[in-house]
Amino acid sequence: MELQIDDSVLVKDYIGGNEQALEILINRHNQRISSFIYSKVLDKEVTEDIFQDTFIKVIRTLKRGSYSEEGKFLPWVMRIAHNLIIDYFRKNKRMPSFEGSDDFNIFSVIGDDKPNAEKQLIKNQIDSDLRLLVDELPEDQREVLIMRIYQDMSFKEISENTGVSINTALGRMRYALINLRKIINKHNIVLTN
């Protein structure tokens, strides 16, 4: 069984003049870093270029003595690779950029998907009204609908939990939806905001 030398020890060895220590580090993390880069650029040649540029920066930083060891060699290298990926996209204008102008509004670029207080109140009211409508369904239909919609169960799981066939569970769900539509139409209920 071969003992694996810690990254921090290899970094110190390389700084101390042992060139083979860097080779071990590159071989150790090659797959992970290359996969990360490729997942972003989706181009084998560009991946190889960015990988090489990453380790050129690593070597320069280590040789300058600018690297502070905190036991985080791989995250540091990944951050360098990430920054080089961003540089690549900027250089090739494949990254969206926004020109500043007088009528520029940062909120048109960044959005907040969370509903505001009013929308949240409306959503809560709709959820509450819908639960009351579901309660009007026959027991077997209500049970399947609750398992499917609120508990996110598959029809196979519903079948196993209720002791009925999958086709019966599907049929009950279908009738539950038909009956819900009838109740909504009968009472002229609007369930949208």
List average pLDDT for each run of 10 residues in the chain, which is 193 residues long. Answer: 78 90 91 92 93 93 82 87 90 60 53 64 77 86 87 88 91 91 79 62
**Fold classification of 117-186 (topology level):** Arc Repressor Mutant, subunit A (1.10.10)
Q: What is the pLDDT of residue 103?
A: 57
The pTM assigned to this predicted structure is: 0.48
Delimit the domains of the chain by residue range.
7-91, 117-186
Q: What is the pLDDT of residue 49?
A: 95
For 7-91, which CATH class? mainly alpha
Q: What is the pLDDT of residue 192?
A: 65
Q: What is the pLDDT of residue 60?
A: 92
With a CB cutoff of 8 Å and minimum separation 6, the contacts of 45 are none
Q: What is the pLDDT of residue 101?
A: 53
